[in-house]
Structure 1
């Protein structure tokens, strides 16, 4: 899983990426009967948007990500929230088999993958995770709403046109949030032997300021393509001029939670 979320991109990710609603934690706890004796893995944990709040619901959290800067910022976030039961591990989906040595005699109650599975080889991953899970444990694949530039709103369409013109490419990838993606992942979970595969939607509306919008855009640009610091004001102004003249931008967020339990 090579993404390029390093340096300033990781900083923008930590500051501007959308967090997860509390209802998601309730769904995860109820689905897998999580307790304070359980260990869970947040694979592709980024800067801890899910691992840190999840830590208060379980015994321990392992946050695993291939980008050192992401893990450093996740650790900073955990420290600010006085989270002491999180362990941060450098690794990608292909490193999952080696987790058995780290776990020792422990089994995982749950593996959660939040807005990251589109970077992974999901079919191989699901098979590799199965032996690490306790009975009735399982996998949760979370899609935290479509990308900012793929919303069905005037401002999102304008943003997409601006970014496509700027970078000379079509922005069509749903980042694992599309219906076809969810169906593909559900079929792969069943093929890997998981039972009770189902999807839950958590929907809400939010308002973004322009600073949040442009910060979210920066958090999704690979580090090698991110405008240099001195060029960012002009880039932001270019984006601002392309958008409707609103001070806030409304987004309807649909958080998808796709789960499957080990038999």
Structure 2
């Protein structure tokens, strides 16, 4: 998994990426009967938006990501929250098999992936995780809302047009949030041997300020494509002038929790 979300992008990610609603963590805990004796893996953990809240529900969390800067922010946030049961590991999906050395004789109760999964070889990953997971545990794939520029609102359509014009490319990838993506992941979980594959959906509305909107955009741009610091004010103003003159922007967020269990 090679993404390039380093440097300033990691900082925007830590500050502006939306967190996960408590109902999503409830769904994970129920699906795998998670306890304070369990170890869970958050693969592609980013700056810890999911890994850190999970630490209050399980014995320990392994947050794994290929970007050192992402892990640095995750570690700093964990420390500021007085979290001591998280281990931050530099690695990608291809490194999963070596986790058995880190865990010794213990097994994972859950491996969870957010939207970073669309950067990974999910079929090979699910097969590699299968022998690492305890009975009754499993894999969860969470889609934490449609990208800001692909939503069904006027402001989102305008944002998409602005970004496509600036970067000279069509923005169509759903980043693992589309129905076809969820179907592919579900089929791959079953093919890897997981059972009871099903999806839970949580919906809510949120209000974004312009700073949150533009920060969310910056958090999704690979570091080598992010406008430089001197160019960002003009980039942001170009988008601000194009958007409807609302102080806040409403988005309807759909969170999908797709799970597959071990027998």
Q: TM-score, normalised by structure 2?
A: 1.00
CA distance in 1, matches of 2:72, 2:204: 30
CA distance in 1, matches of 2:23, 2:170: 34
Q: How does 1:115-154 map to 2 (within 5 A)?
A: 115-154=115-154
Residue equivalent to 1:103? 103
Query: Gaps spanning 5+ residues in structure 1: where?
Result: none
CA distance in 1, matches of 2:2, 2:184: 21
Q: Which runs of 4+ in 1 moved over 4 A?
A: none
Q: TM-score, normalised by structure 1?
A: 1.00
CA distance in 2, matches of 1:90, 1:153: 38
**In the TM superposition, what is the alpha-carbon distance from 1:151 to its structure 2 partner?**
0.2
Residue equivalent to 1:94? 94
Query: Gaps spanning 5+ residues in structure 2: where?
Result: none
Cα distance per residue 1:63-106 (max 9 Å; x no partner)? 00000000000001101110000000000000001111111111
Residue equivalent to 2:260? 260
Residue equivalent to 2:30? 30
SS in 1 for 2:172: coil
Residue equivalent to 1:208? 208
SS in 2 for 1:180: helix
Residue-pair matches, total: 263
CA distance in 2, matches of 1:164, 1:12: 21
Cα distance per residue 1:152-191 (max 9 Å; x no partner)? 0000000000000000000000000000000000000000
**In the TM superposition, what is the alpha-carbon distance from 1:116 to its structure 2 partner?**
1.0
**In the TM superposition, what is the alpha-carbon distance from 1:262 to its structure 2 partner?**
1.1
Q: How does 1:51-70 map to 2 (within 5 A)?
A: 51-70=51-70
Alignment RMSD, CA only? 0.4
